[in-house]
Structure 1
Amino acid sequence: MTTLDRRTVLATGTAGVTAAVVSAPALPGAASASPGSRAARVFAHGVASGDPLPHAVVIWTRVTPTSASRPGSGKGPQVAVRWEVAKDARFDNVVRRGVFRTGPGRDHTVKVDVGGLAPATWYHYRFVLDRSDGPVKSRVGRTRTAPAADSHPERLRLGFASCSNLPEGFFAAYRGLAARDDLHAIVHLGDYLYESGTKKVRAHKPDHEIVSLADYRQRHAQYKTDPHLQDAHAKFPWIVTWDDHEVTNDAYRNGAENHTGGTGEGGEGSYARRRARAHRAYDEWMPARLDGTAALGDGTRLYRRLRFGRLAELSMLDLRSYRDRQVETPGLDSSVDDPDRTITGKEQLRWLTDGLDNDRAQWKLIGNSVMFAPLKVAALPGDVVAAINTLSPLLPQDGAYANPDQWDGYTADRRTVLDHLQAQEVSDTVFLTGDIHSAWAIDVPVDAGTYPVSGTAAVEFVCTSVTSDNLKDVLGTPPRAAPNLAAEQAILAANQHIKYLNFDDHGFCVLDVTAERTQCDWFIIGSRTDRRAPVTWTKSFVTQSGSSTVQEVAAPVR
């Protein structure tokens, strides 16, 4: 078992608690292929599955049929790849099989929407490339279908994570998720990869900011060679959305902060073309349905719902493709309240509110890439303000609040959601959020200015980053140093509805849903520069059914 290290004791004031990480039994054939083997060369990017429905799930791999068929190269032959889905890891009981043709036009990726499956069932899957020197088999992946729509599951358990910047550290958080054997799926809330060329712990490939389709394909390929990420993909189905870095920083509908138009020296061309390339590579390389299908070219709509019986429904949002440009003067620009400005787009907002209905499922889970709850900030020292703003533009120098990149920059859309929750008396709504490289547990207030008198409409759980810089990384301080604690305490003091904040650690969350309550457990890693960093539990908060409030509990779900 994994014991708490010093930084966890300091963060929680608790000693002697062990991590609730369940080691999974090895699956026959599930281990990564031996380095240098034929399987390691042909299926170098692992296997993955995603978007589980009661009778279907997407399975994915990438095949390298020749040495010239490198990701993004546009080279190599068309090949036929066999796939199999079985009820057992030895494939004695194969229930579905087929052949998928792939080639350089789709970067030799394979993406199959496998139907005809039974609800709430674990399956194993693999891919086979037949060659003149004999068949080459991929590692075995494991996946699970969703429960039947009208069923009443006892529980749903999801891992969730965000912000995995490869140059800034090793993916020990993914190793921690892959080591568990108690999850039904993993939810990734955005910034699965980063577009920059910055080198810290590891170097990005290609070693420059990505702009072309070949660039985006190579970057996806690099991330999927990470062994911890491969293991997490092979172990559970994933449910993903993008944030900004899958294209470029602070993206909005028709541009981005980190995009230079023009075709001259230093120019990056049309933003629309750049985004189309990024979305194309994402569609090729991720086990997700866009516009409801696994086929390429059907569109770029990523927002969608996944149902887990009558217990829960997960609405995954896309908060980049349809939003208006962020305001440029936080705390001073009244246009954040303009009803014509949107973070969701009108169609997605209508889709979201239509789905927030007590008759659909008990728990309404919302996969949300940027913080929904309001946030105001008291004055802090200038160096702390500057450091926090490298995580997300939270703090204007005068201490007044506005973060234009989050829902606070689009208050009319947030008010529409809150008004709907109130008017329809919608209960048990939980936002699952990433983006800001820190951990939060929040009561979502009806009116932040009069909370708690005005009541709450939902709760929000925010996961910290897998590796991306947090406050201590930016300040260069040790964990729980005075400036870090001062920032946390100032924010908590100015926002009574925020019950927990951790600016210092990297890791992941586990969400456990039952009819009675939903609990979020935060797990943190040791140093992100350590491939073998320990994984430990640090905090847990629960929301009881019907309460729309969070309370701290003493231990993670076991």
Structure 2
Amino acid sequence: MTDHDQISRRTAVTAVATTAALLPFGATATARAAEPAAAAPFQHGIASGDPLPDGVLLWTRVTPAADALPGSGKGPATEVSWQVAADKGFAKVVARGTATASAATDHTVKADVRGLVPATTYWFRFTALGVHSPVGRTRTAPAAGTAAANVRFGVVSCANWESGYFSPYRHLAARTDLDAVLHLGDYLYEYKTGEYPALKYVVRPHSPGHEIITLADYRIRHGVHKTDPDAQAMHATHPVIAMWDDHEFADNAWQGGAYNHTPGAEGDWAARMAAAKQAYFEWMPVRPSTAGTTYRRLQFGTLADLHLLDLRSFRDEQVPVGSGRADDPGRTLTGRAQLDWLKAGLERSAAAWRLVGTSVMISQVAFGSVPAHLLGPLAEVLGLPKEGLAINTDQWDGYTDDRRELLSHLSDRSIGNTVFLTGDIHMAWANDVPLKAATYPSQDPVATEFVVTSVTSDNLDDTLHVAPHTASLPAAAAIRAANRHVKWLDMDSHGYGVLDVTAERTQMDYFAVSDKADKNATSAHVRSYRTLSGTQRVERADGPVV
């Protein structure tokens, strides 16, 4: 596969595009982008992603005609030019080029720009049909061999359109101190309107209204998400490093099917997955590998290597809770090639920190001590059958041989400073990661894990329809009592994380928004946890990094 460590405002626009201006950089967090004009060619915003020391990937989607809607297959091929500049006014253009937007790629275009200066902020824009796009801001990674003072990421996951507004994106867009935003999966959801959440709790209906199955369906759903003003602002302000989880395909997806896929009634699974992947790579600022997967590696000087996993394309089917098959060495979550790639990358890394983006939790967690009346709602949050819950077999807990091999690799080779970054579970966690949870804390952990909560997707209080931090408190207390390596757990908040990495420590600051159903939700710091270099343990920090 293509491995990144091997690969050596405001602007004047024509009148038709003035209403498509994005949130100006440095604006207050309460400002919002204007709705795009119907005739504007850049209705879906602009984006950058996958920063390298010498380059970055640029993205946009052009609407060349009124009927050239996402998924329509309509509209003429259109030439699109792009520019990258060292200044907002584009007096110092450092790179330029052209691409063609056509129906074959749903009129999306990408430009893989190289020849840029490391650790540098740039501005970019596209031009089509005589109209300039809004101006975007992006940033390259530190050069190989460079000891950067720090690197800072926004961290998000699980953004369900129908569950609320994407205020966490807006708050991240308002920050000027981020090197990139890491999206850990579930960028969108496949459900029909009113399935998740129930119809009476839908904040805003998505499109199409039915469950998405075909290429056109997935393209339409991606297009809807790219009209969200908060998403547009985030994408225009920071490069986004994205990986997928299951809902980019279907709930609890595996290589041969999904919990939310009925063969026959919903067609062939391989065709559905291929359609979902095609739409994802069209609409997201991501470089696909030659295998059509999102596992890849990015480097940030000598400070951090970021290993991103694909835990849906190669995994075996989830096993029923209590089946005894979670420990079967013949079953895999990662696939052999990806696990070998990860182990080799972690071992040869010379960076101060090894960051691993894993879409599902790697820490061992038992839920059996949770009060019985909360097991069903908790299973619903996790997308699991509600008849009982001892472990979540969609996580690494359901594929223990892969986890044992990976964690033993860290232990046997004394690979330190490994931090797993996780989404999926709609809760915030700070965990030590022991080789064997049963022996913790008598044996030292081999890594740590920071899990961020959802942008909007339902938490336990949403499922129970009760006030936050009421019914969840006994469940959180029971989980921590039964899992001593879990140092903190918030089952109710929605928001985002900010991960700050220095040579001395890696710290996750957790932020929560006031109300996911409020377009203008405020944001507040909740907790901070850090891992000091050489410890493989999490500890509470006094406050967020300034």
Paired residues of 2:376 and 2:388 also in contact (CA < 8 A): no
How high is the sequence identity, in percent, across the aligned residues? 51
1:143 aligns with 2:138: yes
The alignment status of 1:301 with 2:293, answered yes or no, reads yes
Decide whether the 8 Å contact of 2:369 with 2:482 is kept in 1.
Answer: no
**Aligned mate of 2:498, from 497, 500, 510:** 510
Alpha-carbon separation, structure 2, partners of 1:84 and 1:367: 31
Which of 343, 346, 349 is the aligned partner of 1:353?
343
Q: Could you say which residue in structure 1 is the equivalent of 2:527?
A: 539
Distance in 1, matches of 2:522 and 2:140, equals 31
> Residues 202 and 37 (structure 1 numbering): CA distance in 2 closer, same or farther, change over 3 Å?
closer
The one-character-per-residue Cα deviations of 1:8-58 (angstroms, maximum 9, x if unpaired) are xxxxxxxxxxxxxxx95259xx995664375xx210000000001111110
Q: Is the 8 A contact 2:26 2:174 kept in 1?
A: no
CA distance in 2, matches of 1:385, 1:37: 47
Shift of 1:197: 1.4
How far off its partner does 1:333 sit? 1.8
> Given residue 546 of structure 1, which amino acid in structure 2 is its aligned partner?
G
User: How many Å apart are 1:376 and its aligned residue?
Assistant: 1.2
Moved more, 371-380 or 387-396: 387-396
In the other structure, the counterpart of 2:419 is 430
Give the deviation of 1:377 after TM superposition. 2.4
3-state DSSP of counterpart to 2:223: helix
Is the aligned partner of 1:287 residue 2:285? yes
Alignment of 1:392-471 (within 5 A): 392=382, 401-471=390-460
SS at match of 1:412: helix
3-state SS, counterpart of residue 51 of structure 1: strand
Q: What does 1:233-248 correspond to in 2, within 5 Å?
A: 233-248=235-250
C-alpha contact (below 8 Å) 2:26/2:175 kept by paired residues: no
Distance of 2:208 and 2:140 partners within structure 1? 36
Q: Deviation per CA, 1:311-355, whole angstroms, max 9, x where unpaired?
A: 000000000000000002x1x222111111000000000001001
What SS class does the counterpart of residue 420 from structure 2 fall into? strand
* C-alpha distance in 1 between matches for 2:234 and 2:503: 27
Rounded to whole Å, the distance in 2 between the matches of 1:33 and 1:444 is 44
- For the 8 Å contact 2:61–2:101, the answer to whether it is kept is no
Q: How does 1:60-139 map to 2 (within 5 A)?
A: 60-130=59-129, 135-139=130-134
Q: Which secondary structure does the structure 2 equivalent of 1:214 belong to?
A: helix
Q: Distance in 1 between matches of 2:469 and 2:158?
A: 21
Distance 1:31 1:96 in 2: 30
Please tell me the residue identity of whatever aligns with 2:458. D
- Report the residue type matching 2:542 in the other structure: A
What TM-score, normalized to structure 1?
0.90
Say whether the 8 Å CA contact 1:251–1:257 is kept in structure 2: yes
Q: Secondary structure at the match of 1:337?
A: coil
State the secondary structure of the residue aligned to 2:245.
Answer: coil
1:338/1:412 contact within 8 Å kept: yes
1:362 CA drift (Å) = 1.2
Q: Does the CA contact (< 8 Å) of 2:33 and 2:230 recur in 1?
A: no
Question: In structure 2, how many angstroms separate the alpha carbons of the residues matched to 1:204 and 1:317?
Answer: 28
Deviations 1:437-487 (A, max 9, x none): 000000001210010111100000000000000000001110111x21000
Pick closer, same or farther for the CA change 1:394–1:278 going to 2, 3 Å: closer
Q: CA deviation at 1:116?
A: 1.1
Structure 2 residue corresponding to 1:272, chosen from 270, 273, 281 = 270
Number of aligned residues: 514
1:482-501 aligned at under 5 Å gives the runs 483-501=471-489
CA distance in 1: counterparts of 2:370 and 2:533, whole angstroms: 37
Q: Is the 1:375–1:402 Cα contact (8 Å) retained in structure 2?
A: yes
Q: Which of 222, 225, 231 lines up with 1:223 in the alignment?
A: 225
The AA in structure 1 aligned to 2:245 is D
d(CA) in 1 for partners of 2:57, 2:252: 29
Mark the runs of 5 or more structure 2 residues left unpaired by the alignment: 1-23, 195-201
How far apart, CA to CA, are the structure 1 residues paired with 2:281 and 2:370? 42
Paired AA for residue 544 in structure 1: L
Q: How far apart are residue 178 of structure 1 and its match?
A: 0.7
Question: Where does the alignment leave 5 or more consecutive residues of structure 1 unmatched?
Answer: 1-22, 292-297
SS at match of 1:246: coil
Distance between the aligned counterparts of 2:213 and 2:388, measured in 1?
36
Change beyond 3 A, Cα 1:100–1:24? closer
* 1:310 to partner: Cα distance: 0.5
Answering whether residue 172 of structure 2 is matched by residue 177 of structure 1, we say yes
Contact 1:447–1:455 (8 Å) recurs in 2: no
1:318 aligns with 310
Contact 1:173/1:525 (8 A) holds in 2: yes
Q: Residues of 1 paired with 2:385 and 2:279: CA distance?
A: 34
Query: For each residue in 1:201-238, what CA deviation from the matched residue of structure 2 results, as whole angstroms up to 9, or x when unmatched?
Result: 11010011001111000000000000001000000001
Hey, what does 1:191 align to over in structure 2? 186
How far off its partner does 1:261 sit?
1.0
User: CA RMSD, aligned part only?
Assistant: 1.7
Q: What is the letter of the counterpart of residue 223 of structure 1?
A: H
1:289 partner letter: R
More moved, 386-395 vs 429-438? 386-395
Which segment is superposed worse, 219-228 or 354-363? Answer: 354-363
Distance 1:397 1:257, change over 3 A: closer
| Aligned match for 2:158, one of 156, 163, 166 | 163
Partners of 1:499 and 1:550 within 8 A in 2: yes
For residues 226-285 of structure 1, give each alpha carbon's deviation from its aligned partner in whole angstroms, at most 9, with x where no partner exists. 0001000000001010000001000001111111111xxxx1110000000000000100
Quick one: which amino acid aligns to residue 222 of structure 2?
Answer: H
2:371 aligned with 1:373, yes or no? no
**Separation of aligned partners in 2, 1:549 and 1:259:** 40
Give yes or no for contact 2:302–2:350 (8 Å, CA) kept in 1.
yes
CA contact (8 A) 2:252 2:383 kept: no
Post-superposition Cα deviations, 1:479-501, rounded to whole Å, max 9, x if no partner, equal: 111x2100000001111000000
Q: CA deviation at 1:198?
A: 2.4
Which amino acid in structure 2 is aligned with residue 503 of structure 1? Answer: M
Instruction: Kindly indicate whether the alpha-carbon contact (under 8 Å) linking 1:242 and 1:318 is maintained by their aligned counterparts in 2.
Output: yes
2-side partners of 1:398 and 1:406: how far apart? 16
Report deviation, 1:403.
Answer: 1.2
The one-letter amino acid of 1:543's match is T
Task: Measure, in 2, the Cα distance between the counterparts of 1:24 and 1:109.
Answer: 24
Q: Is the 8 A contact 1:388 1:395 kept in 2?
A: no
